[in-house]
Every structure is written in structure tokens, then in C-alpha cells.
Structure 1
Amino acid sequence: MSADEKRAVKTSTGTAHGPGYGDDESLNAIRHADDVLLAKLGYKSEFRREFSLVETIAFAFSIMGVVASVSSTMSFPLVSGGHVGMVFGWLIPCFFVMTIAASLAELTSAMPTSAGLYYFSAKLAPPRWAPLASWITGWANVTGQVALVCSIDFTCAQMIVTALNVGSNGAINLGAGPTFGILLAILFTHGIVCSAATAVIARLNIFYVIVNVGTTIAAIVVLLACSGNQRVSTDTAFTMYENNTGWSNNGWAFLLAFTSPMWTLTGYDSAAHISEETANAARAAPIAILVGVGATASLGWLLFIAASFATASVSQLLGTDLPLPMGQLFLNVLGKQGMLAIWSLIIVVQYVTGAAQGVDASRVVFAFARDNALPGSRWWKKMHPWTRTPVNAVWLVMALSGICGFLGFSETALSSLAGASVIGLTRLHPGPFTLGKWYMPIGIVAVSWVSFIVVLLVFPPEVHPTADTMNYTVVIIMSVFIFASLSWVISARKWFKGPVKTVEDRDGIVGEFDEKGARVEEKSVESH
């Protein structure tokens, strides 16, 4: 560790920029150390480092949108296990997801760059296979990020449709066309929000987390306090099992309930993707990953327990005419006015979750384009001169998400697949956060779990799927891998060598390089 980096760690305990930072001089030292470390990883610092520790945690937590995500995925545990599916179908996967989060936190601490997953894969793979590993992981990650934006915003549109249906006593029942129109409107507004300067985005995440946590706690309280006579016994809430999948094997049916937490507990690697916008990133980003996952897992479990107690009839919720069963549960418990009040807050949570995911996806696109791996990379890696953010990448994400929604792909578990490509067992120079001797057993558990869950998540939730109920994850995954594989064989293997150095660090002096690797200038690293 350099003298600048050591000094930055020692001075990162004050409060000027937020908890965990000192006065302006100390903060500048931290940012300078961040830029030096980024140069060692091969990249020029182009963002303003405006995210504090608290704001980075808020971003990682908000992107999972616990109350909105639980509300939008409640049908999976209802179908796959009823009360047991809600309570234990959430709890069990959370332990395994924490091993993935711990491994990613260690990698992020060692290599805090917006490239994230595909950069890690390039460094962990044997040199001969590093470009291919980086290429496949990068395309899987980009596709997963875009699909997740579409999925979140499509669900937000469904939530709005649900509110309109309840508010009009069923008179307004919008079909696929109007829902798609709402999706496009949401994507457009998210494009505006995500194009803002880093400082604005960082501060917005404090608002996001307040709304998120406040709404989640409110939902837990009202489900328990207002369910009255329809509240079931403790024995029923924790032990009553119902298999509504059509699968004859109850054990297999229960496993399909894992879709809900796996859909919710995605995006926590977002802290890595904004690490070039974070002060003291090697420390703040891994903390954000672990706190974000831990808090989401805990609050989500409490919310599902409350929902299990408030569910008098699983079959009645599954038979609702509303797009989402959670909406029917709130309607049963709170009545029309109460349901609309809490549902409006959940819509806000889903909306801000989509905004956070839009930022995350745009940083992934920017980073992959920076390594010249995308068609039109020179456009998507451009930084706006005013905001110092990749505005072109933002609007590319929104456009592709709109296309994704037009094709009808509204849900995907591709983020889990992207994570599978980057959990390695090779040791690197550790950052401030390290798993120490536990890296091997934790890594083994993480890899085993991801290998299992990726297979599980391509199965349909019910037997005899139709075009409307089919799980399209497998279509997206195969499309991405066929494209990535063919493009690699035909062209990319000849020119793509993995992450491209844009700077070379020599005692604080960095040289910039063009797309072909030729040096174009030389200057000292500057803090922002």
C-alpha cells in the first residue's frame, strides 16, 4: 500500500462529507489515493467521487427495493409452498447469498472499478482464458443489467395498473398495450434522473433509503396489526405447506419458492459499479455490499413473516384478478383506502429502485464500452462535460430496456448467472476487506450455490407452461451465450484482450492511451 493510501485510511474517520470522512484535506487525500489505486488497475479516473460511505450503502440497499421486490414476487412462494414457501423459501437462500456477497465484497475491495464482474473474471482466470472469460461475463452482465431495469420498471407499471384497478373498483383494467406505454414513460423519466451529476444521484439515494425502509416497516406493522380475525395462528404461519405448482414432488416445488429472494437479492454488486464515484472505495464498497444484502435479507424475511400471518387463504390470493397477489393481501387487510395508501408508497419504492438500477446498468455499459467491447463503444463511453456521467450509456440502457419490454421479457434471473462467472478461488492482493483463511470454504459454498440456483431459475414455476407462463430466462441466457460465443469465434478473439489500460501508473504519474493502446499524453494523478 502506498503512502497516500495508508494516509487516506488513517484519516477516514471524520464527518465532513458524511460518516467515515474527515475534513476537506483528508477527503482530498482519500480521493487521490482512490485515483492512484484505479490507475494501478489500469484506468483513468473520469468520475467525480461524490458517494460517501453512507450514500454507497444507501445505493446498494435501495437497488434491491425490499418491500417492492417482495410485493412483486410474492406469487412464487405462494404457489410453491404457501406459508412455508413465504417464510422458509426466503430465509434459506439468504444464507447462501451472503457467501456470494462476501466473496464479491473481497474482490471489490481489491479491485474497486466500475467494470466489476467482468474485470474480476479477467484477473481471476488463467491468462490464456482471461479475454474469453471477460468477454462472456461482460456480455452476460450487460444483458442482465438491462433486463433487470426492464423487469423492475415493468413491475412498477403493473403496480400502477393494480392501483388504478382498485381505485376504480375494477372499472379500469388496463391491458398489455397501456401497461407497455406506462413502462416507456417510466423509462423516459428514469433516463432523465440517471443522467444527473454524481453528486445529485448520491444525495437522492438518502431519500431512496428513507422511503424504502420506512415503507417496509409500515407494511410489516399494518399486516400484523390490522389483519384482525383473518390473522392465522403461529403454527399455520410457519408450518402450513401448500403445493400449487402442479409438480408432484413437494421438495422440488418448495425449491421454486427460492425465485423470490434470488430475484430480490440482485444488484448488490452495484457498489462495485459506482466505486469510481465513491470516496475510499476499497473500504466503502465492500461494506455497502454486505450491509445492503444483510439489511434486505432481514427486512424481507420479517415482511414475509408478517404476510404469512395475514394470509387467511393462499388460494384466494392466487385467484385474485389483480396483477399482483400482494395487492390483494393489502386490500383484504386494509380495505380500499388503506391499500391505496400503502400501495402508493410501494410504487414510489419500486420507482426509485428502477432509478438506482438504471444508474448501475449505465455504469456497466460505460465500463464495457471503455474496454471497446460494445458496438459503438466510442459513443457509449463518452462522459458528459457538465455532469461528468456517461449520459449516452444511460439512454442506451433505457432504449434497450424498452425493446426488452416490447419483446415481453419482463422477468429474468440473469444477474445470478453473471455472478457465477466471477466467483473464483485465485488469491489476489487483498484490499482493506478480506476473508482471510475463510476465502476458500466461502468461495466453494458460493460457487456451489450459484451453480445450483442457475439451473433452478430456468425452470417454469408451474408444470405445463404456456407462452404466457413460460420462464423466458433460458431464452435470454441462450441468446446471450450464442451471440457472445459466435462473436468471439468470428471476430472478438482476434482483437479483444480483456480490460484495456487507459493509464499506466509510475510513482503517481499516469499516461493515457487511445483505443489502440498508443500513449496520447502524460500527467500527474489529480484528485477531484
Structure 2
Amino acid sequence: MGYQEGESEGNVALQGIAVIDSGHARLNELGYKQELNRNLSVLSNFALSFSIISILTGITTLYNTGLTYGGPVTMVYGWLIAGFFTMFVGLSMAEICSSYPTSGGLYYWSAMLAGKNWGPFASWITGWFNIVGQWAVTTSIDFSLAQLLQVIILLSTGGKHGGGYNASKYVVIGFHGGILFSHAILNSLPVTWLSLFGTLSAAWNVLGVFVLMILIPTVAPKKASAEFVFEHFNTDNGVGIHSKPYIFVLGLLMSQYTLSGYDASAHMSEETKGADKNGPYGIISAIVISIIVGWGYILGITFAVTDISSILSKDNDAGGYAIAEIFYQSFKSRYGNGTGGIICLGVVAVAIYFCGLSSVTSNSRMTYAFSRDGAMPLSKVWHNVNKNEVPLNAVWLSAIISFCMALTSLVSLVAFQAMVSIATIGLYIAYALPTLFRVTLARRTFVQGPFNLGKFSLFVGWVAVLWVATITVLFSLPVEYPITKDTLNYTPVAVGGLFVLVCGSWLIHARHWFKGPVANIKM
């Protein structure tokens, strides 16, 4: 990878003349005023992306999926496969981020890379996939926390077999609304507070993973063998799928869902010192550390698995919530009660809370940037920045839309899953589009920034694009047979519907007025 020495980071004095931050200078070159408070360090930038990836959130939430579709083999090796290819996606994004360090991130990149003729349309479709994907991510994160709180209450009141309290879907949606409200309140604070929360979140995730990956298998009276963890492939999924390759690719969802959200480093570029270097470092470091720490967490928890069928059973104490059952039974079997397991679930709950907090932060910056360029209805409202240099209206809009998306759970979990499916596939499509334009339309014109991939740039970019195309197909496959209205995988319906809406709005009216990113500095 190339690295070009250049402008000084931070505001320093040189021969009596103030030299502005390199990210600030590059932002001005791109035609934008510095309106947000540029106060985040590379550590803070990394922490926000790492918090949204949140190993404890993704793996805990979808551990059921991993156990069902292939079990240990799918999780242990699938994690490494997904992590390997995610690095290609992240490296490609980091290189582009270095050249265009703006809060708009992906949609701005697409506009610049697709050229004058295709730029506006490329920007439009990338921006809407990105922003809707982010809202879906926040929805899924906070709804996952609401569900986990339901399970914690159930276990704390005796579990399913002990007559514990099983909250209704209306209580769960109430939890979800309360969590989002608190996230909006905290995101209304100055960015220095968000930096503190992000750093605390990163530390909590790392320490939490290490504590749980060691504690749970240590406490469990019965432990799985190394042969089970590294070689057992679960084909007893109860969903009518028996092909091992098919089962394996379905199980990859746990890993790929977890390893997403690192575009937050790009969306925080206008608040990061030396963003043309530190933004890319934030993306790459968040992915690398997540891969390492996540693999350790998967191994540690899986060593406490001895009976997959009982852990996945909806009739167990945790109502079928796999990791909750593992934690609870590990302590209950050794000490006679599962209080220790409930405390461990509390550690996970705090990590998920931080994850949702960072997700709202990233959402709001994307909303701020997209509305700055007039791409959203009532753009002037969402682009407004308060006296603390926080896009306050964008924060609350992001929280409200995420809550509305979760309301579909009251109608049908199938409808809710369709909505949430955009969180993985929709977001990754947004990740791949600027890279696709980089390796095609901008192959000869792209000007690399301080962080670049040198001669490997095009190769890495093509691998990233092909990987996203592959997972888009794989995660649209049926996940249960026979296929009925209740078992159909609605991912292609949700993502296809979003594509039709975005393209339709472009053809009907947006193509007449949306010209892509609009500079607010006279060049």
C-alpha cells in the first residue's frame, strides 16, 4: 500500500501562519465548508466503526442462525471466509475515503467516480441504498436489544419452565422505542461526548468478548471437544435443507451481518482530524480487530455447546435464544442458579446499547450530508446544525424512521425480517457501487489520496465487487422448505422493492433536479 507524506495533521503554526488540518483542507478543495466540529482522533473514529460492527451484538443476535445452518463448522470457518473477503471491501472503501473524506461517504464517492453523465444517478441510488440500509441497521440493532431484554426478564423471573414473565410484542416494541429515544437524546450532545461513548464502547466490546469467551466455557460443567468445535457440521436444521454447501452458505449470514457498519468511519470524516488518513485507518482497523476478536468469541462460546437441539429448542428456559440458554445453563448447572448467566447477558446488552448509539450517530451524519446536497424531502430541515455543531434534526429523524421500520414487527415477523434484510444486502450494495465505478468508469482518472493500494487497487476492487454480488445472491436463496408465504425469504422482495422505488423516483422526478453533490464554497 502506498503512503504519501503530505500535509500536517491538526492545526499548527508554521512560520506564523496557521496550517489547517489536512482533512479540513481536502474538504474545502472538494467544495464544502467546515460546519461540524472536527474533534475526533483516529482512535475515536475507529471506535465508532468498531462499536457498530460490535462482535457481541452481531454474533449474539444471529448465533441461532449459525447453529442451525451448519453449526460449529459454519461459524468457525465461515467467519474467517467472510472476514477475508470483507477486508477486500473495506480496503477498497478506505482508499476511496482517503481521496474523498466527506460525511456523504459512499454516495459522494459514486458521484465523483461515475463521471459527469452518470454521476447524479450513481449518487442518487448509492445514497438511498446507504441511508435506508443504515436505518435498517439501527432498527435491527435496537430491536435485538429489546428482544434480549425480554429474554433477560424471562430468565430473571424463573425462565420459561419456571413461569417467568414472557413480554408481549407490544412490550418489546415499547422497549425498542425507549432505547431509540435514549439514543437520540445522547446523540444530541456535543461530539466530544460521542467520542467518549465510542471509546468506552470499543473498550467494553473488547473486554466483554475476552471475559465471556473465557468465563463461559470455564464455568460450563460439560465442554465440547475440539473435534466438535472444529469438525462438527450440523445438518439437523429442521427446515428441510440437506445439502451441505447450501447449508454452509446460509450460515454465512451470521458472519456477514456482523461485519458491517464500518462505513461509519467515512461518515464521521468531517469530524475527524486528518480524515484523509485517519478515516481509512478507522475502517481497516475496525474490520481487522473485529475479525480477530470475533473468532475468539465464537470459539469460546462454542466450546460450551454440548447439545445443539436443546439449545435451539423453543421450549428451553430462554425460549430458544441460543446464547442466552448457553449462558444461563452454564451457571445453573454448576451453581444451581443462572444468575451469573443473566449478568453475562447484561454485559452483552450494554454492548448492543453502545452499538445502537453509534449507529444513530452514523445515520444522522449520512442524513446531514445527503440533505446538504438537497437529495431528501425537507432537506433544509435535516441539514440544520445547532450551536454545538450537531445535526440535531437529522439525529431525531433517524431515530423516528428506525422506530417506524420496527413497527412492522407488530404486523408480522416475516414483514419485519424483510425490512431488516436491507440491513445486510442493501448496505453492502451501497458499499460495492462506488468501488464498481472506481474499477470501471474511473479506472484511469481516479486520483489516489494519502492512503492507497498502489498497483493492487484494481484487483482488490474487483474482488470486493464480486464478493458483494455473490452474497447478494446467496442471502436471497430460500432458507426453508417447503416454501410458503411464512417461510419465503423476502430479502429479494425487500431489496428489489427498494431498487424499484429508488429508480422509479429518479425517472419520474429526481433526474430533472438532482445534479449530485452541491458545493457550498465558491470555487
Q: Give the TM-score of the pair, scaled to structure 1.
A: 0.89
1: CA distance, partners of 2:13 / 2:67: 52
Matched, 1:324 2:325: no
1: CA distance, partners of 2:303 / 2:18: 52
Q: Which amino acid aligns with 2:340?
A: G
Matched, 1:235 2:224: no
- What SS class does the counterpart of residue 500 from structure 1 fall into? coil
- What SS class does the counterpart of residue 36 from structure 2 fall into? coil
| Among candidates 76, 89, 92, match of residue 65 of structure 2 | 76
Residue 324 of structure 1: CA displacement? 2.3
2: CA distance, partners of 1:25 / 1:69: 47
Residue 22 of structure 1: CA displacement? 8.7
Give the aligned partner of residue 510 of structure 1. Answer: none
Matched, 1:175 2:168: yes
| Among candidates 211, 223, 244, match of residue 250 of structure 1 | 244
Matched, 1:273 2:267: yes
Cα contact 2:86–2:259 (8 A) shared by 1: yes
Residue 67 of structure 1: CA displacement? 1.4
Stretches of structure 2 that go unaligned for 5 or more consecutive residues are 333-337, 410-415
Residue 223 of structure 1: CA displacement? 2.5
Stretches of structure 1 that go unaligned for 5 or more consecutive residues are 13-20, 506-528
- What SS class does the counterpart of residue 103 from structure 1 fall into? helix
2: CA distance, partners of 1:29 / 1:162: 56
Residue 466 of structure 1: CA displacement? 5.5
| Among candidates 491, 494, 508, match of residue 512 of structure 2 | 494
- What SS class does the counterpart of residue 74 from structure 1 fall into? helix
Cα contact 2:157–2:165 (8 A) shared by 1: yes
2: CA distance, partners of 1:29 / 1:94: 42
CA distance 1:479–1:105, change in 2 (3 Å): same
Cα contact 1:30–1:279 (8 A) shared by 2: no
Q: Which amino acid aligns with 1:330?
A: F
Q: Which amino acid aligns with 1:128?
A: N
Residues 258-303 of structure 1: CA distance to partner in whole angstroms, max 9, x if unpaired?
Answer: 1011111111011000000001001111111111001111111111
Residue 459 of structure 1: CA displacement? 2.9
2: CA distance, partners of 1:300 / 1:120: 30
Residue 246 of structure 1: CA displacement? 2.1
Cα contact 1:114–1:276 (8 A) shared by 2: yes
CA distance 1:484–1:7, change in 2 (3 Å): closer
Q: Which amino acid aligns with 2:279?
A: A
CA distance 1:150–1:500, change in 2 (3 Å): same
Cα contact 2:11–2:21 (8 A) shared by 1: no
Residue 31 of structure 1: CA displacement? 4.5
Percentage identity across aligned positions? 33
Matched, 1:224 2:217: yes
CA-based RMSD of the aligned residues comes to 1.9
Give the aligned partner of residue 314 of structure 1. Answer: 308
Q: Which amino acid aligns with 1:326?
A: I
Spell out the pairing of 1:410-489 with structure 2 (5 A cutoff).
Answer: 411-412=420-421, 413=424, 414-423=426-435, 424-425=438-439, 426-427=442-443, 428-464=446-482, 470-489=488-507
| Among candidates 292, 299, 317, match of residue 305 of structure 1 | 299
Cα contact 2:65–2:251 (8 A) shared by 1: yes
CA distance 1:323–1:49, change in 2 (3 Å): farther
Give the aligned partner of residue 351 of structure 1. Answer: 353
Give the aligned partner of residue 333 of structure 1. Answer: 330
Residues 154-175 of structure 1: CA distance to partner in whole angstroms, max 9, x if unpaired?
Answer: 0000110010010001321012
Q: Which amino acid aligns with 1:333?
A: S
Matched, 1:33 2:22: yes
Spell out the pairing of 1:29-428 with structure 2 (5 A cutoff).
Answer: 31-170=20-159, 171-228=164-221, 230-243=222-235, 244=237, 245-321=239-315, 322=319, 324-335=321-332, 336-384=338-386, 386-408=387-409, 409=416, 411-412=420-421, 413=424, 414-423=426-435, 424-425=438-439, 426-427=442-443, 428=446
Cα contact 2:197–2:354 (8 A) shared by 1: no
CA distance 1:69–1:470, change in 2 (3 Å): same
1: CA distance, partners of 2:213 / 2:490: 32
CA distance 1:309–1:291, change in 2 (3 Å): same
Residue 25 of structure 1: CA displacement? 8.3
- What SS class does the counterpart of residue 225 from structure 1 fall into? helix
Q: Which amino acid aligns with 1:60?
A: S
Cα contact 2:183–2:357 (8 A) shared by 1: yes
CA distance 1:320–1:188, change in 2 (3 Å): same
Residue 30 of structure 1: CA displacement? 6.5
1: CA distance, partners of 2:259 / 2:19: 30
Residues 145-200 of structure 1: CA distance to partner in whole angstroms, max 9, x if unpaired?
Answer: 10110000000001100100100013210121110111001111111011111111
Give the aligned partner of residue 413 of structure 2. Answer: none
Q: Which amino acid aligns with 2:95?
A: E
Moved more, 353-362 or 440-449: 440-449
2: CA distance, partners of 1:148 / 1:110: 26
Residue 477 of structure 1: CA displacement? 1.4
Q: Which amino acid aligns with 1:380?
A: W
CA distance 1:70–1:270, change in 2 (3 Å): same
Residue 202 of structure 1: CA displacement? 1.1
CA distance 1:460–1:358, change in 2 (3 Å): farther
CA distance 1:24–1:266, change in 2 (3 Å): farther
1: CA distance, partners of 2:468 / 2:496: 17
CA distance 1:469–1:22, change in 2 (3 Å): farther
Cα contact 1:76–1:461 (8 A) shared by 2: no
Cα contact 2:13–2:19 (8 A) shared by 1: no
Cα contact 1:109–1:433 (8 A) shared by 2: yes
Residue 461 of structure 1: CA displacement? 3.1
Give the aligned partner of residue 412 of structure 2. Answer: none
Residue 476 of structure 1: CA displacement? 2.8
Residues 78-109 of structure 1: CA distance to partner in whole angstroms, max 9, x if unpaired?
Answer: 11101112211211111000000000000101
Cα contact 1:64–1:267 (8 A) shared by 2: yes
Q: Which amino acid aligns with 1:192?
A: I
Residue 318 of structure 1: CA displacement? 1.3
- What SS class does the counterpart of residue 63 from structure 1 fall into? helix
Cα contact 1:90–1:257 (8 A) shared by 2: no
2: CA distance, partners of 1:57 / 1:64: 11
Residue 398 of structure 1: CA displacement? 0.8
1: CA distance, partners of 2:179 / 2:59: 20
- What SS class does the counterpart of residue 434 from structure 2 fall into? coil
Cα contact 1:31–1:279 (8 A) shared by 2: no
Cα contact 2:12–2:20 (8 A) shared by 1: no
Q: Which amino acid aligns with 2:204?
A: V
